[in-house]
Amino acid sequence: MHDIEAALNALEVAVEQAGEGHYGPRRYIDKDQRCIVGDAWYRLGVPSEALRSLGVEKIEDLHKEGILPFPMTLGAVVVYRAAQKAQDANLTWGQALDAAIRTASRYLTLMPTALILKAQEELVTT
């Protein structure tokens, strides 16, 4: 399942391709321009038509309604929301990525250490 790490990686690729100073529209896709989250998802294989159908809905609403374009963890939703919120505040994609990284760090500090260690252990044994 698409998790925090995958979300951060997807956002990082989007920023690398567009540039840290890039600004995008508030829609997942508007004509040929995509927002930072829409661009990340497009690069992961979500078709433009699927992005267009999402309009301007916030990612947490897509999650709540069960209409995300692919399965992802709540952590990934939180990371994408941070990037989306920063971009919607008219920040650059580089700043949006920084906001997503800070949010991921805060999100992970909320998790008990034992849970994180167990998850890492399971990754190693699978």
Distance CA 126, CA 117 (A): 14
Tens digit of each residue's pLDDT (9 = 90 or more) over 55-109: 889 999 999 999 999 999 999 999 999 999 999 999 999 999 999 999 998 887 7
What percent of the chain clears pLDDT 70, i.e. is strictly above it? 87
Per-residue pLDDT at 115 exceeds 70: no
Amino acid identity of residue 122, one-letter, is E
Please give the pLDDT value at position 114.
Answer: 64
Distance CA 16, CA 10 (A): 10
CA angle 36, 84, 67 (to 5 degrees): 95
Write out the E strands in 21-125.
Answer: 29-30, 33-34
Asked if 34 and 28 count as a contact pair (C-beta separation under 8 A), the reply is: yes
Please give the biggest Cα pair distance in the chain: 46
